[in-house]
């Protein structure tokens, strides 16, 4: 009974203190937002303006369409992300769909496993490669000197559950493009599925901040664990059975719009790559100076360069399971009867794109936080800086 009475007294005191704090906050809020009172204080106008910005940013509100896009970028496997669109860059009613592929990255004979991603919104094109147990490299090399993928060392990936095929555009593009698609966002989920005794090693994941080819370094040499570790944007974490989610997002302004079929000054092969691989920055896949066509489906399309790479160290034969997902939206005659209403929030998109650019480095300094928490904080800082006014 004594313990219960003491607990009751403590609860009452905490309630009184909380009430006092709330009352004090309300009083401060009234004072700092009252123009008559602030006019009597030196620099009161500037203080009130600064308080207004801080108050507004502390509770950042966004449009419903931007919130859904935010969910798509930070929690792409969630049902909340379904039907996401980019509320900017050609606001047209669109068909929205979700594609994914699952599989295993196998640690090869040299103690490394590799995965490269070439995101595409179409279901008949290769969207990446994952190493098999026969992989004998220690880098991001996927092509041989004969201009072909080492097929015995890599499994080619595609997303057959994507709604449209590139074959519906090519070779009939002169008559009707039929469909134009852009990537909205996506993600990669990884977790170790090998034996407990052999568990160990590191996972390195890197996405080019401007979606350049990440299978090679600036010098042209393939990326290794060492070269990836020297890049500030590389996410590195220990091999674990706990799922690790890595967001995949647009990073460039031209990735927010639907691609043109034949931009000025672009040859036919590159035009097809631009159209089908919007996150490859217009470049075909290459390694040691060679290019390759898609290894599945429509093999007439030259593959886009990989913009994300995964390199895993560990024990040969062990596996890391992956789930690779992409949200897309499409316009064109083939989307008849599937179109959802267009949304518009160009200012929100602009601020969120700046937040995405900041997130690449910031998430590595706060590995304990989710992608959503990191991006929300960076978006808040962008909005705060945009709304803050200083004297020239």
Do 127 and 195 share a domain, yes or no? Answer: yes
Do 101 and 163 share a domain, yes or no? Answer: yes
Do 51 and 108 share a domain, yes or no? Answer: no
Q: How far apart are CA 220 and CA 289, in angstroms?
A: 8
- Within its chain, how far is the Cα of 70 from the centroid? 10
Do 162 and 300 share a domain, yes or no? Answer: yes
What are the tokens at 364? 């590595």
What are the tokens at 219? 């010098």
* Domains: count for the chain: 2
Has residue 358 got a pLDDT over 80?
yes
**E strand or H helix at 258, and its extent?**
none
Residue 85 lies in a domain: no
- Within its chain, how far is the Cα of 192 from the centroid? 22
Torsion (CA) 229, 233, 237, 239 in degrees, nearest 10: -80
Task: Output the CA–CA distances (angstroms, integers) from residue 76 to 172, 279, 313, 360, 373, in the order listed.
Answer: 33, 17, 26, 17, 14
CB contact set of 228 (below 8 Å; sequence gap of 6+): 204, 206, 234, 236, 309, 311
What are the tokens at 337? 């009867």
Residue 149 lies in a domain: yes
Categorize the per-residue pLDDT at 185 as very low, low, confident or very high, splitting at 50, 70 and 90: very high
Other Cβ atoms closer than 10 A to 43:
9
Residue 349 lies in a domain: no
- Mean pLDDT on 202-221: 87
What are the tokens at 239? 């091999």
Has residue 197 got a pLDDT over 60?
yes
Other Cβ atoms closer than 10 A to 51:
16
Residue 184 lies in a domain: yes
Other Cβ atoms closer than 10 A to 265:
6
> What pLDDT score does 340 carry?
93
Q: What is the pTM (predicted TM-score) of this model? A: 0.81
Residue 208 lies in a domain: yes
Its domain, for residue 27, covers: 17-59
Residue 3 lies in a domain: no
Do 277 and 233 share a domain, yes or no? Answer: yes
More confident residue, 176 or 373: 373
- The CATH number that applies at residue 203 is 2.60.120
Do 229 and 300 share a domain, yes or no? Answer: yes
Percentage of the chain lying above the pLDDT 70 cut: 78
> What pLDDT score does 7 carry?
46
CB contact set of 270 (below 8 Å; sequence gap of 6+): 282, 284, 302
What are the tokens at 238? 């220990």
Do 51 and 154 share a domain, yes or no? Answer: no
Do 144 and 243 share a domain, yes or no? Answer: yes
**E strand or H helix at 299, and its extent?**
none
Do 107 and 52 share a domain, yes or no? Answer: no
Instruction: Annotate 16-41 with three-state secondary structure.
Output: HHHHHHHHHHHHHHHHHCCHHHHCCC
Do 176 and 251 share a domain, yes or no? Answer: yes
Do 208 and 336 share a domain, yes or no? Answer: yes
Q: What is the pLDDT of residues 33-90, one digit of tens each?
A: 777 776 777 766 666 665 565 555 445 678 899 999 999 999 999 999 999 999 987 7
With CA atoms as reference, report the closest residue to 352 among 386, 319, 318.
386
Do 112 and 258 share a domain, yes or no? Answer: yes
Q: How far apart are CA 206 and CA 223, in angstroms?
A: 10
In the chain, the N- to C-terminal Cα span, in Å, equals 67
Q: How far apart are CA 165 and CA 332, in angstroms?
A: 13
Residue 351 lies in a domain: no
Q: What is the pLDDT of residues 118-155, one digit of tens each?
A: 999 999 999 999 999 999 989 887 766 555 666 688 99
Has residue 267 got a pLDDT over 80?
no
Has residue 14 got a pLDDT over 70?
no
- Mean pLDDT lowest among 157-161, 244-248, 267-271, 363-367: 267-271
Q: How far apart are CA 65 and CA 55, in angstroms?
A: 23
- Mean pLDDT on 264-283: 80
How does DSSP classify residue 90? S
Residue 328 lies in a domain: yes
């Amino acid at each position: 009974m004594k313990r219960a009475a003491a607990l009751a007294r403590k609860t009452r005191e905490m309630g009184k203190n909380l009430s006092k704090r709330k009352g004090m906050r309300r009083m401060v809020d009234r004072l700092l937002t009252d123009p008559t009172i602030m006019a009597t204080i030196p620099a009161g106008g500037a203080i009130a303006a600064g308080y207004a910005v801080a108050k507004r940013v502390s509770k950042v509100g966004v449009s419903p369409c931007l919130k859904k896009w935010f969910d798509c970028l930070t929690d792409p496997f969630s049902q909340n992300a379904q039907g996401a669109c980019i509320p900017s860059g050609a606001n047209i009613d669109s068909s929205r769909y979700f594609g994914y592929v699952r599989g295993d990255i196998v640690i090869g004979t040299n103690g490394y496993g590799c995965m490269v991603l070439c995101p595409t919104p179409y279901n008949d094109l290769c969207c990446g490669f994952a190493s098999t147990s026969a992989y004998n490299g220690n880098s991001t090399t996927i092509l041989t000197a004969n201009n072909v993928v080492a097929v015995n060392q890599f499994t080619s990936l595609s997303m057959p559950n994507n709604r449209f095929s590139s074959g519906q555009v090519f070779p009939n593009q002169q008559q009707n493009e039929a469909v134009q698609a852009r990537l909205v966002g996506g993600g990669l989920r990884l977790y170790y599925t090998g034996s407990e005794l052999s568990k160990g090693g590191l996972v390195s994941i890197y996405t080019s901040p401007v979606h350049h080819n990440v299978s090679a370094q600036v010098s042209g040499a393939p990326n290794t664990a060492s070269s990836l570790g020297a890049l500030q944007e590389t996410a590195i974490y220990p091999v674990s059975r706990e799922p690790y989610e890595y967001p995949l997002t647009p990073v460039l302004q031209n990735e927010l719009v639907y691609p043109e079929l034949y931009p000025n000054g672009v040859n036919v092969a590159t035009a097809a790559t631009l159209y089908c691989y919007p996150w490859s920055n217009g470049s075909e896949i290459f390694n040691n100076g060679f290019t390759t066509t898609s290894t599945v489906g429509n093999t007439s399309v030259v593959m886009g360069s990989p913009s994300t790479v995964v390199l895993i160290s560990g024990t040969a034969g062990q596996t890391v399971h992956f789930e690779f997902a992409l949200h897309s939206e499409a316009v064109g005659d083939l989307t008849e009867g599937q179109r959802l209403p267009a949304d518009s929030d160009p200012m929100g998109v602009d601020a969120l794109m700046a937040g995405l650019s900041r997130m690449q480095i910031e998430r590595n300094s706060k590995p304990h936080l989710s992608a959503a928490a990191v991006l929300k904080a960076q978006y808040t800082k962008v909005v705060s800086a945009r709304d803050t006014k200083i004297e020239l």
